[in-house]
Structure 1
Amino acid sequence: MIKVTLNDYLYNSGILGLIRIFEHSGIDYQKEGNQSILFEESALENFENYYFNYLIDEYGYDTSYSKMLNYESYLLNSKQNFNDDKQLEHFNEIIDNMKKWLTSNSYKNTYKFLTEIDYSFEATAKSLKKVSKKKNETFEDIADQVKETSETLLTCIENLKHPQARHYLVARTLSYQIVQGFWTNVAFLNSTASKKDLYIEYKNYFTDAVQNYLETKKNEKKYAKNKFQCATCDNTMGKLNETFDLTWLQKTGVDAARKSSHYWDHQRDIFICPICNLIYSCVPLGFTLVKGKGIFINNNQSIEQLISANLIPLRDGENELTMNELEEKAYYRILDVMDQNVESKKQLEIDNIQIVKFDKNNESRPYTFNILSKQKAALIVKAKKDLNYLVGKYLKEGREYTDLYQEIIKRIYNGQSFYDLLNKLMKLYISGDFKNLAAIYRILRISNTQFEGSKHFMTLDELQKVRGTGYYLRRAYKEQGQENKLSGISYRLLNALKVKNPNKFMETLIQAYSYKKMEIPSVFIQALSDEKKFQAIGYALLLGLNGYESNNEQGEEK
């Protein structure tokens, strides 16, 4: 039996990837205690196929291969006459795409392995030509050309449906699209392996090394003399050629051949065994990925919780999730599977959980890390509706875009205040450079939620009442045609909030109310004695003063 045990985030994502492969392929494994799994050596037979089968079934939908198959229904209809230029334009776009994909190097280097398909994809692609309609021609004049090209493309697609085409072409595409973001330069991603069978290359480098190592391990006397200790597990190796390093993992490890100065006396002393090497190859399959970005929840309390925390769907019905939506579902998934301690009231029982985010396009720092603590998790739960609203909402400043959802999540993680962001958004709204006042109110609610249970907290009703006072003050100015004065009042109130000066704030407010001969609501007395309530009261007033009246859950403006 082979045993692997939870370790750091990267190794744990590899273990999760391995488990996903086993479960997808119907391979048995056992859990030992909370932290380890056991599996038979026989589970590695045909492992290279299990590896790519999982990858293809999970991510094959987002490849050029799948896009070509999806063209079939349109092409069947296009055998009929086109009615407008847009249809012809889309038809030519399909021709361009299929020509480009079918003649790409990754496809051309793979065709020789499609031994069961008696068809030349490359020759067909090279023969494809766009259909053009001259000024003096009608759509009927080009109908025969459209029909002939459609039939050529449909024949090509029919051959692409062959299981061997999917087996090789999608695997090759995903090796670059998914795997290469996590590791490179070995096995099928070695610079010399682009024209080789990627299944055989994976087997030779990873699986065969494990099986050979396990054979040597059976000689107990010889194994006991091994002196090279694996840096990740308890295994030892007797020879350097049995060991591996981590330089092939992107932005991980040290190349001992080029930078031996990282080691004491220039002698390399960090090694991993072939089994751990195989585990690390499964790292890409442990992350949940969308468009080159992904997330892994390193809930390492147990194998069970690691699996449960990462049961994050990639799609919502027919639609692929965005990275923000994926991250949002990940947080709520964590909270759904947490144990709850039933005492006088239910509270989340949580150790600090590591959230690992991956970005393939960030070459200098592909991995970023956050810690989800008990308090932060509780805040995310309480602010769920408001966070949901902020998904897909952006602030544009010049050419720069700020993702409001990500900005709020970052502040929750880092324990940062929201008031500087509220001040900026409110100022931009008054100047006309930001339109979504509902988003500002949602952020104010999230900010206020973090104080729940303390003297600084304001109920939703209290916030709405303060907002209402701002609305009635605004109405008083509008009724007398003095609405132009509101922006000046708002800027002075904002400046007082920015420098946390309740006296200056009250001075401006008194002037505004006195000018209209209105009584100042008593709620503002609280602003003088509690700095945090002062901020919440101030921004709630400004929301009403600038026209936000909504009370509905969707946050739409009336």
Structure 2
Amino acid sequence: MSIKVTLDEFLYNAGVLGLLRVFDHAGISYTLDGQSVFFDETSFENMEEHYFNYLIYRYQENTSWYAMVSKEEMVKYCLEAEIDEKKLTELNKFIENTKRWLISNSYKNTYHLIKGENIPIAQIAKTLKKVTMKKKEAISDVKPQIEEMCSKLLECITYLKHPEAKKFIVARNLTYTTIQPFWTNVSFLNSNASKKDMYQEFQNYFTRSTQDFIESKKNEKKYAKNKLSCAICEHKMAKMSECFDLTWLQKVGVDAARKSSHYWNHNRDLFVCPICNLIYSCVPLGFTLVQGKGLFINNNQSVDKLKSSNSITLQSNGEMIQFDDLENVAYSKLLDMVDHSASARIQLEIENIQVVKFDRNNEARPYTFNILSRQRAEVLVRSKKSLDYLAGKYAKEDGEYIALYQDVMRRLYNEQSFFDLLYRLLRLSASKEFSNGVAMFHILQISTNQFKGGEKFMTGEELKKIRYYGTKLRSAYRGSENKLGGILHRLLNALKVKNANKFMETLIQAYSYKKQVIPAVFVQALEDKDKFQTIGYAFLLGLEGYSGEEKKEDESNE
């Protein structure tokens, strides 16, 4: 029997993507057709194994298990070589963490599931203790203790590397860190299942009910009489015992037992079939997760585009990426889908796509949404180079770090001005607390792109020319830095309060003092308040000392 699944709301779509990722990893075939995916009923066989295999493959490096086994070479080095106090401190920290992890309840509740390895791991872990030196002792004096602890650590690591240990321990780690933030209280996350086999529990709750339901559908005459409809798909159930609610999904759904008033006449009429229930279990696998935060791009034009939009790698140059980088990569994926026509007019294949952010630490509101509209996408396309540059760039203000990429993206989505950010950065620059003129110029270019007409409002070349006027005036005041500082301060304050007359008055005085002619472009500053601020900040970037040499600017900020 062929199973058809069609895209729906964002959480279900994340589940569909998660299911397809499981299928891809397991080598299970399926067919895509627009917003639908087709696969054989046998695809659900051993689903519990495929589910956890993909979960482990994707996120094992985020677990305490990996933190232990990845330190094997370090422990061997400490055992065989002469180490210094710095290395001993590192070893002691590892001993402390290993002991804490191995005697924790989640580990102790899992050891009995592991077959084929008889090392008394919990007992060994209890004997782990930090190597301490007395006042007049040297490292060589505590070498026997170092060797003893390293031998025990290696024995623990040998145990952890056993396939059965990895299968159950990593799965247990990830049920709490990766699965539970999305759903809980059923299957292996039921309060009574903390010591049970999570693979078996998944099979009992999700896989078996799905297979039984598919089998019942084969009796077409009997199935045709079913009256209870799934809220997501076209499937029908014969009785309530075949139906599932969604109260187990974190922060979504209605608890029908406690809040029946949400339903007409208190009669529950919102439930899903076993197939959709299993798909919702795959929601955590549809999100891309980094450090407790996740991203899902709900590009529901087709299943194929949903997959390609979310095909994001978790590593860069051999290291796990940060969430800021993840967001940048995700948006870059979307922008790569934009087609530029021969006339350079932006033709968008995407519109009103949800970009869903997840934060497991935000208990009240774990999901937040941005909509990638046509207008926003156009701005992002024009600003792609600038956004790529801002990724990973920070400024420090009053002891707090400003993540420039994050701040800029937030402003773009909320359609907020960038001028107050430019003011703050220029103020920091004037006090020598921030010196990345490249970043400020890129922010100014993004700000220009945000205005209606984008490049028609003011081109990049025009901005560079205005910045050059500032650089030229700065050169004229060489040797009179104190006077230049006063000019810069007055111009910056005039920009902050949007006082074009005060700005022009200060500018006229500055040029007159050096007997120079004011560039005609400043006449435009009086025509429009947005142009006034754009021209003003471009000019101040040059006056502050940014010449446009990106390589030099980058090196000064290393």
TM-score (norm 1): 0.94
Residue in structure 1 matched with residue 14 of structure 2 by the alignment: 13
Change (3 A) 1:235 1:331: same
Cα deviation, 1:216-253, whole Å, max 9, x if unaligned, reads 32333332232221111111222112111111111101
Correspondences of 1:388-427 after superposition (within 5 Å): 388-398=388-398, 400-427=400-427
Q: Using the TM superposition, give the Cα deviation of residue 299 of structure 1 relative to its aligned residue in structure 2, in angstroms.
A: 0.8
Deviation readout 1:120-139 (Å, 9 max, x if unpaired):
11111001122122223232
Q: Supply the distance in 2 between the matched residues of 1:455 and 1:441 (Cα, whole angstroms).
A: 15
Decide whether aligned partners of structure 1 residues 294 and 246 sit closer, same or farther in structure 2, where only a CA change above 3 A counts. same
In 2: Cα distance, 1:388 partner to 1:181 partner: 30
- 8 Å CA contact 1:456–1:533 kept in 2: the answer is no
SS at match of 2:51: helix
Helix, strand or coil at the partner of 2:550: coil
Partner in structure 1 of residue 278 of structure 2: 278
Post-superposition offset of 1:102 = 0.7
Shift of 1:79: 1.5
Moved more, 199-208 or 220-229: 220-229
Deviates more, 1:382-391 or 1:337-346: 337-346
1:344 CA drift (Å): 7.4
**Structure 1: any 5+ residue segments left out of the alignment?**
none
Distance 1:35 1:414 in 2: 30
For residue 363 of structure 1, give the secondary structure of its aligned residue in structure 2: coil
d(CA) in 2 for partners of 1:544, 1:125: 62
Return the match for 2:545 from 530, 544, 547.
547
Conserved 8 A contact 1:260-1:267: yes
| 1:292 counterpart letter in structure 2 | G
Gap change, CA 1:348 and 1:553, over 3 Å in 2: farther
Write the distance in 2 (CA, Å) between the matches of 1:490 and 1:161. Answer: 63
User: What is the CA distance between 1:423 and its match in structure 2?
Assistant: 2.4
Partner of 2:40: 40
Aligned to 2:554: 556
Q: Distance in 2 between matches of 1:400 and 1:93?
A: 29
The question of 1:531 aligning with 2:529 is answered: yes
1:491 Cα deviation from its structure 2 partner: 3.5
Q: Match for residue 300 of structure 1?
A: 300
- Alignment of 1:440 onto 2:468: no
Distance verdict in 2 for CA 1:155–1:282, change over 3 Å? same
In structure 1, the residue matched to 2:214 is 214
Report matched runs for 1:124-135 at 5 Å.
Answer: 124-135=124-135
Q: Secondary structure at the residue paired with 1:357?
A: strand
CA distance in 1: counterparts of 2:268 and 2:434, whole angstroms:
56
User: Structure 1 residues 113 and 83, CA, compared in 2 at 3 Å: closer, same or farther?
Assistant: closer
Q: Which residue of 1 aligns with 2:28?
A: 27
Alpha-carbon distance in 1 for matches of 2:338, 2:391 = 24
Amino acid at match of 1:512: A
CA contact (8 A) 1:18 1:282 kept: yes
Aligned counterparts, 1:487-498, within 5 A:
487-498=485-496
How much does 1:456 deviate? 5.2
> Residue 106 of structure 2 aligns with which residue?
106
Equivalent-residue separation in structure 2 for 1:325 and 1:217 (angstroms): 46
- Which residue of the partner structure matches residue 385 of structure 2? 385
Measure how far apart 1:434 and its partner are: 4.3
Hey, what's the Cα distance between the residues in 1 that align with 2:444 and 2:283?
Answer: 39
Alignment counterpart, residue 507 of structure 2, candidates 509, 514, 530: 509
**Pair 517,285 (structure 1): closer, same or farther in 2 beyond 3 Å:** same
Which aligned pairs between 1:154-553 and structure 2 lie closer than 5 A? 154-338=154-338, 347-398=347-398, 400-431=400-431, 434-451=434-451, 457-479=457-479, 481=480, 483-552=481-550
Describe the SS at the equivalent of 2:131: coil
1:412-455: per-residue Cα shift (whole Å, max 9, x none)? 22332212222233234335554444322221121123358568
Q: Secondary structure at the match of 1:368?
A: strand
Equivalents in 2 of 1:276, 1:125: separation in Å? 43
Structure 2 Cα separation of the partners of residues 147 and 45 of structure 1: 48
Change (3 A) 1:454 1:130: closer
Which amino acid in structure 1 is aligned with residue 31 of structure 2?
Q
Question: Cα gap change, 1:186/1:26 in structure 2, threshold over 3 Å: closer, same or farther?
Answer: same
Deviates more, 1:450-459 or 1:265-274: 450-459
Instruction: Give how far 1:553 is off.
Output: 5.5
The verdict on how the C-alpha distance between 1:28 and 1:424 changes in structure 2, with shifts beyond 3 A counting, is: same
Q: In the TM superposition, what is the alpha-carbon distance from 1:304 to its structure 2 partner?
A: 0.9
1:95 is aligned with what amino acid?
I
Partners in 2 of 1:440 and 1:187 — Cα distance? 51
Deviations, residues 294-324 of structure 1 (Å, cap 9, x unaligned) = 1111111111111111111110131111111
C-alpha deviation, 1:358, in angstroms: 1.0
The amino acid that maps onto 2:289 is: L
Q: Give the unaligned 5+ runs of structure 2.
A: none
In the alignment, the residues of structure 1 paired with residue 190 and residue 454 of structure 2 have an alpha-carbon distance, to the nearest angstrom, of 58
Shift of 1:343: 6.5
Between the aligned partners of 1:405 and 1:554, the Cα distance in structure 2 is 21
Asked if the contact 1:422–1:440 (Cα under 8 Å) also holds between the matched residues in 2, the reply is yes
What is the distance in 2 between the residues matched to 1:126 and 1:451?
Answer: 64
Deviations 1:381-406 (A, max 9, x none): 33223212222233444454432111
Identity %: 56
Task: Encode CA deviations 1:330-358: one digit per residue, 9 max, x unaligned.
Answer: 11112223456667766333222111111
The alignment partner of 2:140 has SS state of coil
* Aligned residue type for 2:285: L
Distance 1:406 1:94, change over 3 A: same
Q: Offset of 1:557 from its aligned partner?
A: 7.4
- RMSD, matched Cα: 2.1
Matched position secondary structure for 2:369: strand
Kindly provide the amino acid, as one letter, of the partner of residue 384 in structure 2: K
Aligned match of 1:59? 59
The 3-state SS of whatever aligns with 1:178 is: helix
Counterpart CA distance in 2 for 1:87 and 1:498 is 52
**In structure 1, what residue type is equivalent to 2:443?**
I
Q: CA deviation at 1:551?
A: 2.4
Q: CA deviation at 1:101?
A: 1.0
* Conserved? CA contact 2:351–2:374, under 8 Å: yes
2:416 & 2:437 partners in 1: Cα distance? 22
Amino acid at match of 2:225: K
2:11 maps to a residue whose letter is: L
Counterpart-to-counterpart distance in 2, 1:148 and 1:450: 64
CA distance in 2, matches of 1:531, 1:456: 16
Distance in 2, matches of 1:89 and 1:255, equals 50
User: Is the 1:308–1:337 Cα contact (8 Å) retained in structure 2?
Assistant: no
SS in 2 for 1:441: helix
